[in-house]
Amino acid sequence: MCGIIGIVGMAPVTARLLATLKRLEYRGYDSAGIASITENGLERRRSVGKIANLEACLNDDPLVGFTGIGHTRWATHGEASERNAHPHISGKVAIVHNGIIENYAALKSELREAGFEFQTETDTEVVAVLIDSLLQSGLEAKEAVGAALKRFHGAYALGIMFESQPDVMYGARKGSPLVVGIGNGEMFLGSDALAIAPYTNKVIYLEEGDWCRLTRESYEVFDSEDKPVMRKVQTVETEEDSADKGNYPHYMLKEIYEQPRSIAKTLQAYTHPVHGTLSLPKDATLDFDFSTVSNVYMISCGTAHYATRVAEYWFEQIAGIPCKTDIASEFRYRQPALAKNSVALFVSQSGETADTLAALRYCKVQGIKTIAVVNVRTSSIAREADVVLPTLAGPEIGVASTKAFTAQLAVLLVTALHAGLSRGTLSEDEFETHSKSVAEIGSKVDESLSRDGVIRAVCELICDADDVFYLGRGVHYPLALEGALKLKEISYIHAEGFASGELKHGPIALITDKTPIVFVAPTDELYEKSISNLQEVAARKGPVLLISDRKGVEEAGGAPTTTLEMPDCDQLIAPFVYSVALQLIAYHTAVMRGTDVDQPRNLAKSVTVE
């Protein structure tokens, strides 16, 4: 969601602002703009749609300044239009903003009564106008920033410039992430470390309520009470090749094909360097003991939620721990009663998902031990959790999550196995057998990828459909939900996932000869029941795509319209093998329909507002 870049530089900044906005395209946006302090004062350029439109605007009407801010906007308040695009300017103040100012209406009314005018429909404009009003009341720029921040309710990451201070920039964060980059004679602001990675690897992660004042040579950080504070300067490493599609037509396809490597890299962090056995990182095992746990709550959003739905089966069946999964946006507002000696596990690719972070804070207030499964160890969720279990998928650029999902599954599976061993529900021999299966995940995913051409061909069955249903049983029911999510995200086909056994309880009424059904049904203890459900659909002329192993395809006979044979594998690791097929089905269907695979409409990569 929305990207921010700010530079207090030694040379003209427009080209770097623009280049950074291109790097931030993966976050999802519908308009973009930059502002700079030029010899004429504050100036800005904005456009709707792709960064290429902004680039064309700047080619026709350049900006030349040494201090500047840039922004990619994902609309919340007000339509996607040039007028509503950031940066916003009021008087001598320019700002960019990620988040939502929840009390903007009250502030807007107050400022209008004081004679100030508004030009947009956004909540963000009130930030610029309020700061402008404080300047006009006689406050200095720094005082105006500190005073304004105390008036805002909601979430914000802000970049602020004043025409009167061409070599100074201010930043602030509450609820939305913001980092300071320390360069050589330059300073940077970014919505994440990836934004400023080409310019510096030395960053400060602003903490909740922090704000800062940057010059070319210095930085100051203040807490929510305006007291100067010291924050740790960290050296971060980013994978630069992640921002390059290489020979792939889309980031999503590149990231699908990166999964054998990203899974292997993740599992390496959970493998003892000497004995080669699976284990949790040393700091996690020191801080936490599953043998005393009464319940596990797993809380997340979107694709991460479906990863926890898969893991729910693992924790209960392998470790014998009562487990409940929850959508983060519902969890804390339900005010759940949490069992004593329970643990709450939070899964997020970015580690900045606003609803998940809020749920984590709720659990901490309740005195519940918290575990974070995140892809960014320096993220807010990672910093606030008691225990961090990292995924090592690397930066994921495509909006539709692929390699992050399977990396999350890998960590959750290892954690469930560790819990089973700790609790005595798994013997040493059983643990070793399961560990051998885990070691095969990468090669089995490679086998799945080798079927890409066949997978593309079966997409002909669904690419022209208006509705597609996904069905699965047991651990493959959450995969059906994830497969449906992937399809709707990037192809814009209405898709729904159902537990196969629920078919007769309503969904079967929707089956017609124009409603493709994707069955995820490997040969397991529930296979016969799955095939019975398949027959029910076939009897109603529904075109069926069966995804199974060789034995499953053979035993299904002629009932399915189309079959997709997947590699034989231990059922423990089948979710990895089958999720790859579902990702490729969504990808190829979207390509056939001509949609924007990497930046699907209305979606953002990291959802940092509730």
**Catalytic residue ranges:** 2, 605
First vs last Cα of the chain: how many Å apart? 12
User: What's the longest Cα–Cα distance across the chain?
Assistant: 82
Separation between Cα atoms, residue 197 and residue 181, nearest integer Å: 9
Pick from 178, 141, 159: nearest CA to 87: 159
Given 3-state DSSP classes, what are the helix, strand and coil percentages for the chain, each rounded to the nearest 5? 40, 20, 35
Separation between Cα atoms, residue 120 and residue 474, nearest integer Å: 50
Residues 397, 371 contacting (CB under 8 angstroms):
no
Amino acid, res. 21: L
Any idea of the CA torsion for 332, 335, 339, 345, to the nearest 10 degrees? Answer: 0
Separation between Cα atoms, residue 316 and residue 561, nearest integer Å: 35
Separation between Cα atoms, residue 82 and residue 433, nearest integer Å: 59
Separation between Cα atoms, residue 47 and residue 50, nearest integer Å: 8
Compute CA distances 336 → 108, 121, 328, 359, 367, whole Å.
36, 36, 12, 11, 13
Any idea of the CA torsion for 303, 308, 314, 316, to the nearest 10 degrees? Answer: -150
Residues 386, 370 contacting (CB under 8 angstroms):
yes
Pick from 219, 302, 171, 161: nearest CA to 604: 302
Q: Which residues contact 32 (CB under 8 A, 6 or more apart)?
A: 21, 46, 47, 51, 53, 54, 70, 71, 72, 73, 85
What is the 3-state secondary structure of 517-571?
EEEECCCCCCHHHHHHHHHHHHCCCCCEEEEECHHHHHHHCCCCCEEEECCCCCH
Separation between Cα atoms, residue 590 and residue 597, nearest integer Å: 6
- State residue 137 phi and psi, 5-degree precision: -80, -5
What number of H helices and E strands is found in the chain?
Answer: 21, 24
Separation between Cα atoms, residue 278 and residue 272, nearest integer Å: 6
Compute CA distances 553 → 41, 532, 566, whole Å.
69, 14, 9
User: Judging by DSSP bridges, how do beta strands 187-190 and 179-182 pair with one another?
Assistant: antiparallel
Structure tokens at 557: 């006979």
Pick from 593, 313, 321, 339: nearest CA to 468: 593
Separation between Cα atoms, residue 196 and residue 183, nearest integer Å: 10
Separation between Cα atoms, residue 491 and residue 595, nearest integer Å: 6
Separation between Cα atoms, residue 41 and residue 362, nearest integer Å: 46
Residues 463, 595 contacting (CB under 8 angstroms):
no
